[in-house]
Amino acid sequence: MSRILVTGGTGYIGSHTTVELMQQGYDVTIVDNLSNSSIDVLDGIEAIVGKKPDFANIDCGNHVDLDNVFKQYPDIVGVIHFAASKAVGESVEKPLLYYRNNLGSLITLLEVMKVHQVQNLVFSSSCTVYGQPDAAHLPVDETAPIQKALSPYGNTKQINEEIICDEAHTDKDLHATILRYFNPIGAHPSAQIGELPNGVPQNLLPFITQTAAGMRPELKVFGNDYNTPDGSCIRDYIYVVDLAKAHVKAIDRMLHAKKRDQVEVFNLGTGTGLSVLTLIHEFEAATGVKIPYTIVGRREGDIEQVWAAPKKANEVLGWKADTPIREVLASAWNWEKKIRNIK
């Protein structure tokens, strides 16, 4: 049996990935400081897979604590690193916090992995590294140019990718897979785990589901004067369960592929871009719930349109994000109803 360490494993993508790993027979140890997640997530995971993952309530930037986890679990063969602060707006307000958390935890993790000769790392990155790709690079594949980050959060993703590449350059035993996510949405079909945003949601779908639940009077659509067919921004919304499965494929490949590059990068998206207005209408069609919305001005720093060319992940990982969008949107609504006790 192989054990995977999942940092940030009680978070949104981490918890869904833990479920998929356990269902594929991996043992999982989660480390999480619960700064943006709840211990109850472990019960949700247990309700789905019939077993709790091992858990350590530590900060993965703490060298001593992390070292102890590796000592306690000598069967760790790979690490998936999710633990990071992720609110774009907050990162502009508190850049030092973001640089300390997001860079410090990766550096500590790489140091401790080296001591314990754990040589496989999957890193949770973002399509934010591409900024607004020019028309020639839409849809975006992995060769599109990296552009200057628009926020400290985005910059930490870029710098972390560079840290991994620099370390792999000198340590030929280190293998890494960098996964650049597009826009993860939805919840597990069991409604046992899902997204739990802190305070007022900044991301689109949690705002929609909270509006549907009556917690917000209306959704504000940030701009309808973009150069897109309906004027609203376009994104590639990927089901979190499909995304989680890509992590299992990445780990399988790192452990079993005969030949692979030392550092591999994959864009994880569906390959289809949807506008904000389309997503609202699809949500209404999927759930029968009307979403009141108004059009307001553009949000600063927003990108007009970006969606993935997932061919490399499709072919090399043997993975595809193909859950129909209405099923995905219904899963998000089922989760919202469950946590708000709506029948």
Binding footprint of ligand UD1 on the chain (CB under 6 A): 86, 88, 126, 128, 154, 183, 202-204, 207, 219-222, 233, 235, 276, 299, 301-302
b/e burial code for range 149-160 (CB count within 10 A of at least 16 → b): bbbbbbbbbbbb
Instruction: Give the long-range contacts of residues 225-230, CB within 8 A, separation 24 or more.
Output: 225/298, 226/298, 226/304, 226/305, 227/304, 228/275, 228/304, 228/305, 229/275, 230/275, 230/277, 230/278
Q: Are 83 and 17 in contact (CB under 8 A)?
A: no
153 part of the active site: yes
The Cα–Cα gap between 112 and 91 comes to 26
Shortest Å distance, C-beta 36 to ligand UD1 = 13
Q: Which residue is nearest to ligand UD1 (CB)?
A: 233
Q: What tokens were used for 43? A: 């019960």
22 or 87: CB nearest ligand UD1: 87
Q: What tokens were used for 3? A: 């054990």
Shortest Å distance, C-beta 96 to ligand UD1 = 19
Shortest Å distance, C-beta 336 to ligand UD1 = 15
Shortest Å distance, C-beta 331 to ligand UD1 = 16
The Cα–Cα gap between 332 and 218 comes to 18
Q: What tokens were used for 272? A: 């289809």
122 or 221: CB nearest ligand UD1: 221
233 or 317: CB nearest ligand UD1: 233
Q: What tokens were used for 258? A: 């005969």
26 or 182: CB nearest ligand UD1: 182
Torsion angle of C-alpha atoms 276, 9, 26, 79, degrees rounded to 10:
100
Catalytic one among 98, 153, 226, 237? 153
SS3 of residue 187 by DSSP = coil
58 or 219: CB nearest ligand UD1: 219
Shortest Å distance, C-beta 154 to ligand UD1 = 5
Residue 242: CA count within 13 A, CB half-sphere: 27
Residues with a known catalytic role: 153
